[in-house]
Amino acid sequence: MNDTNDTMEDRERLMRQDGYLLGITGTSLICGMHFSPWLDLFVPPVAAIMTSFYITSPVLLFYFSSLTVAVAAVIVAGIPAALFERATGRTRSDSTSMAIWLAGTLLLAVPAVVGMFRPG
C-alpha cells in the first residue's frame, strides 16, 4: 500500500513539472525565432558547419540555426538551476529549480520578445 502512495506522489510531482517544461520549451523556441537577435549570432557559425556537410539550402540553414539557438537557450538557462540544486544538495529537480530554469529562459527571451514588437 505504501508503494502505491509513493508512486502516486511521484506522478503528481511529475505532472506539476510538465507545466514548467512546457514553459521552458516555449520560451526557448521564442529565442530561436526569426525576430530574435540571438539568431543573428548563430547563423554564421552554423552556416559554416552545415556547408561543410554540403547543406547549403537557406531554409535548412535557417532551421538548423533556429534549432541551435533554442537548444542553447535551454542549456544556458539550466546552468543557474543546476548551480542552485548543487548548492542546496538536492538530488532531484523540484518546483523551485524548475522555476529558476524557467526564469532563465524568460530572461533570455526578453530580447526576442522586444524584437517581435519592433516594426520592420
Number of residues written out for the chain? 120
At 78, which amino acid appears?
Answer: G
Q: What angle do helix axes 58-88 and 37-52 make, rounded to 10 degrees? A: 110
CA-based nearest residue to 23, from 67, 74, 66:
74
Residue 37: per-residue pLDDT: 92
pTM of the model: 0.83
* Residue 55 structural domain: 2-117
71-92: pLDDT as tens digits: 999 999 999 999 999 999 998 8
**pLDDT band at residue 61 under the 50/70/90 scheme:** very high
Q: What are the pLDDT digits (tens) for 21-30?
A: 999 999 999 9
The tally of domains found in the chain comes to 1
What local confidence, expressed as pLDDT, does residue 89 receive? Answer: 92
